[in-house]
Each structure stands twice: as structure tokens, then as C-alpha cells.
Amino acid sequence: MSGRPTDPAPYYRLHVFCCTNRRADGHPRGSCAARGSEPLRDYLKQKARAAGIEDVRINAAGCLDRCELGPTMVIYPEGVWYRYETREDVDEILESHIKNGVRVGRLILRPEDGPNKEAKIA
């Protein structure tokens, strides 16, 4: 469990943040939106709603600062990061992780995947 015994109960069972930041074309870091995150995030939201999932929020987020690896999402409270490129990736994250808590190993990002630990407040 996250939090402390005295913290309020979670407002959402899971809170999913999909980076939808867009940088100008040609930026050396690229961006999740330039890599197609927006329609995939919309697809995940739509599929979650269609599945009747009411205790999870599928959120858009500004730059999560792992642009080079994008499109990226992070699921809290567990803090598990994914790279997702296709609707099939999104379907698997929804069915496996969001519905059943089973991590999708092939899509998980690890800290050592980078890009770095600098400029995290940028």
C-alpha cells in the first residue's frame, strides 16, 4: 500500500497518467504526442469506460520527462511506467495491469532505461 496509516483513503484505485506533451517538430528529444500518444490515450479512456471501470482515472499529463522513450504512461500508486505504441499495447495494459494488477513485463520501463535523472523539475 502507498501512503501512511493516517493518510486519507485513495480517491482513485489507480491513477493513470498518459503524457500528451507535444514539442515542436525536430526537437532533439521528441515528444510523446509527436510519437502518437494522444489517440492512444483517447483509446484507453474509451476502452476503460466501455469496460465499466469506475475506480480508475485515465488522465492526460504534461511532460513526464522521459520523452525519448515515449509514448510513456505511469500508473500510481504503484509507480509502474510503460511505453505503449499500438492499440494492442493499450489493450494489454488495460486487461492485464488495470483490470487484474498483472504487470505487462514487455512494456515496462525501468529507471535505467533513462533518459536521465537531470532536469526532472523542468
- Label residue 43 exposed, middle or buried (CB < 10 Å: 0-12, 13-18, 19+): middle
Please identify which residue in 33, 80, 94, 107 interacts with a second copy, judged by CB under 8 A: 80
User: Closest approach of Cβ 28 to a second copy, in Å?
Assistant: 20
Q: Return the residues of window 47-76 that contact a second copy according to CB under 8 A.
A: 48-49, 53-66, 74, 76
Q: Looking at beta carbons only, is 15 or 30 nearer to a second copy?
A: 15
Q: First CA to last CA across the chain, in angstroms?
A: 29
Nearest to 108 by CA among 77, 72, 83: 83
How many residues touch a second copy under the rule CB under 8 A: the total is 48
Handedness of CA 20, 73, 39, 69 (dihedral sign): positive
Residues in contact with a second copy by the rule CB under 8 A: 1-4, 6-12, 15, 17, 20, 45, 48-49, 53-66, 74, 76-81, 103, 108-111, 117-118, 120-122
